[in-house]
Structure 1
Amino acid sequence: MDIDAFVTAHRPVWDRLDHLVKNRSSLTGDEVDELVELYQRVSTHLSIVRSAAEDPMVVGRLSALVARARSAVTGAHTPAWRELTRFFTVSFPVVAYRARWWWLGSALAFLAVAWAMGAWVAANPDVQATIASPDEITRLVNEDFADYYSEHPAASFANRVWINNAWVSAQMIMYAVVLGLPIPFALYSNAANVAVSGGLMASRDKLDIFFGLILPHGLLELTAVFLAAAVGLRLGWTVIDPGPRRRVEALAENGRAVMSVALGLVVVLFVSGLIEAFVTPSGLPTWARVGIGVLAEVVFLTYVIVFGRRAMRQHETGDIERAPDVAPSA
């Protein structure tokens, strides 16, 4: 192959590709399509030169040009640390903050049901008798309830609690695919479990022990469950009321954003699991254990409010950057 003739014939294409790469930030839709086409053609030229001629200068120039064009076409890889930083400072908190009213509604509904049902159980011996015998209730409130938090090694208990709570939260989010209809029932089931335990403890004047063991980890744990329910319900409502966008677009955007919450709650529930395994059954006084739980709750809510509000003011939605369904095209 005559390398000089080959270079002369194709130099205009290479120069044009070089120009498009240098000005990639201001390209029109047609120019983007041209960039992709020329990138493919010049890649073929590089392959031909490498196999049919040994001219290191031409090979070097084309290799550098193809590499820069590939970066322009596929996008430069975002450093992992930047993606992680964006996730914790933008994606997760803004989705949680945008769902704040759904979040608050889920919490209030749960607490109302749990409180009413717990009071009903505590005040009605007949109801208690359908749950367990008097001896079983006595053993529960005097031994089993407290022993539950210390009968297993702390590390394995923390891991088991983390996996279980993460699965419950993931279910809440997955229910969005059926408009979130099972979420109220899931919340009711969890509220009933809490109410039965609390009602039985109250019937034996053991509420101080109940709250002393529940609050350290339960504040953060239930907050995470309420958040999962909130984003699941909000995503389900998007199907009914997508707003000014097309239903498919709204569902895609909110669906991707909700995955940020699913991943973020893994971390939140990990912290809750550590508290439940190492703080709840510890020998610390009750005020100290509850104080740790309150501190964890305040830190989490402050984090969501501060970072979430700031991201929302910057018109962030929590969706991924350069979402495929909103990418520019000719």
Structure 2
Amino acid sequence: MDLDAYVQAHARDWQRLEELVGRRRLDGTASDELVELYQRVGTHLSVVRASAPDPTLVAHLSSLLARARNRAVGTRVGSWRTVASFFVDRFPAALYRLRWWWLGCLAGNVVVTAVMMLWLLDNPVVEQSLLSPAEVDQLVQQDFEGYYSEYAAGSFATQVWVNNAWVAALCIALGVLGLPVVYVLFTNISNLAIIGSIMHRADRGQQFWGLILPHGLLELTAVFVAGGVGLRLFWSWIEPGALSRAQSIAREGRTAGTVALGLVVVLLVSGAIEGFVTPSGLPTWARVGIGVLAEAVFLTYVLVLGRRAVQRGHTGDLDAALLEDRVATQA
């Protein structure tokens, strides 16, 4: 490759990127141009490295890209546009792309919970080995319903939000190990099955579902999303596909981070429902209706916005401008 001719052909792009990096402020159009030039100059650097690795030019372009990358990140982080893009593109795209993992996790856990609850109802001796008659009576008569109104609504909603966010974070963080995710999920649903069977045996099934469903639909869906994404992270190590294992885990790990951030908001909504709606004086049909509506909105968000985001090329991974400086070489 004729290095001098290549420099002459692309020097204008480099000068323009240098100019944008040096500006004090960038509007939306200039920011988009900076990112576009960043990607283009990254390709130029790849060509130079591969065909004519002049140390001075490589150092100059590398320094320019590093400054452009920092400027691109600094320009975008904290902006409302970035926040909007996250919830319109990146988060729903991640949920949609991984939908079969978390929908499978959701279906599997629902089936296991139902089987456990029916089995416990047919085997009361198990219940007797877990709780004394006095403890069962305390749970049925006071503790289960009282749990939702024991604290002020705001404090309780915050407590629930933090607890559920911690469970979801565990599912994602332990995902690369596989089995710990299954353990966390099983612990979560086994408690539900045990309490449900006790309440049904005491003819309090309507009360049980009336207090669980308003917040539980969205809350448990969020936990199952975290579990499914965690298991996908584990599978990316087992079966990396066309990528190397390191690349596969890195991509799914970044996507898992996207899901974790988004679930913070989803669990905030479910926590607010649990703190303010579940213990409220609304009739049962109204409380359950709010829970069903919240779940329907979430699923619509995933299946409609997520599908559109994927069609626009989003995957849930970080934007190319925020990744490393190496860009695929183009002719």
TM range (shorter): 0.7 to 0.9
How many residue pairs match? The answer is 288
1:142 maps onto 2:136 in alignment: no
- Distance of 1:121 and 1:38 partners within structure 2: 67
What is residue 60 of structure 2 aligned with on the other side?
A: 37
SS of the aligned residue for 1:182 comes to helix
How far residue 209 of structure 1 moved from its aligned partner, in angstroms, is 0.2
Larger radius of gyration: 1
How far residue 98 of structure 1 moved from its aligned partner, in angstroms, is 1.3
- Distance of 1:164 and 1:316 partners within structure 2: 31
Residues 75 and 297 of structure 1, relative CA distance in 2, 3 Å threshold: same
How far residue 220 of structure 1 moved from its aligned partner, in angstroms, is 0.4
- Whether the 8 Å CA contact 1:279–1:289 is kept in 2: the answer is yes
Any idea what the Cα deviations from partners look like across 1:80-121, whole Å, max 9, x if unmatched? 122111110111111111111111211122111211111222
- Distance of 1:213 and 1:146 partners within structure 2: 8
> What TM-score do the two structures reach when normalised by structure 1?
0.80
Any idea what the Cα deviations from partners look like across 1:10-43, whole Å, max 9, x if unmatched? xxxxxx9766323747542267984862897xxx
Moved more, 208-217 or 86-95: 86-95
- Distance of 2:192 and 2:270 partners within structure 1: 17
Amino acid paired to 2:60: E
- Distance of 2:315 and 2:209 partners within structure 1: 37
How far residue 132 of structure 1 moved from its aligned partner, in angstroms, is 1.6
How far residue 69 of structure 1 moved from its aligned partner, in angstroms, is 9.5
Structure 1 consecutive aligned stretches of length 4 or more whose deviation exceeds 4 Å = 16-19, 23-27, 30-33, 68-75
- Distance of 1:102 and 1:39 partners within structure 2: 39
Residues 20 and 101 of structure 1, relative CA distance in 2, 3 Å threshold: closer
- Whether the 8 Å CA contact 2:176–2:231 is kept in 1: the answer is no
Cα root mean square deviation, aligned:
2.6
Gaps of 5+ in 2: 1-9, 18-36, 50-55
- Whether the 8 Å CA contact 2:121–2:197 is kept in 1: the answer is yes
The match for 1:282 among 280, 283, 295 is 280
How far residue 242 of structure 1 moved from its aligned partner, in angstroms, is 0.8
> What TM-score do the two structures reach when normalised by structure 2?
0.80
- Distance of 1:129 and 1:19 partners within structure 2: 76
Amino acid paired to 2:221: T
The match for 2:210 among 199, 212, 228 is 212
Amino acid paired to 2:106: A
Any idea what the Cα deviations from partners look like across 1:123-165, whole Å, max 9, x if unmatched? 3332221122223212211221101100111111111100000
Moved more, 219-228 or 20-29: 20-29
What is residue 131 of structure 2 aligned with on the other side?
A: 132
Moved more, 98-107 or 155-164: 98-107
- Distance of 2:62 and 2:252 partners within structure 1: 34
What is residue 324 of structure 1 aligned with on the other side?
A: 323
How far residue 233 of structure 1 moved from its aligned partner, in angstroms, is 0.3
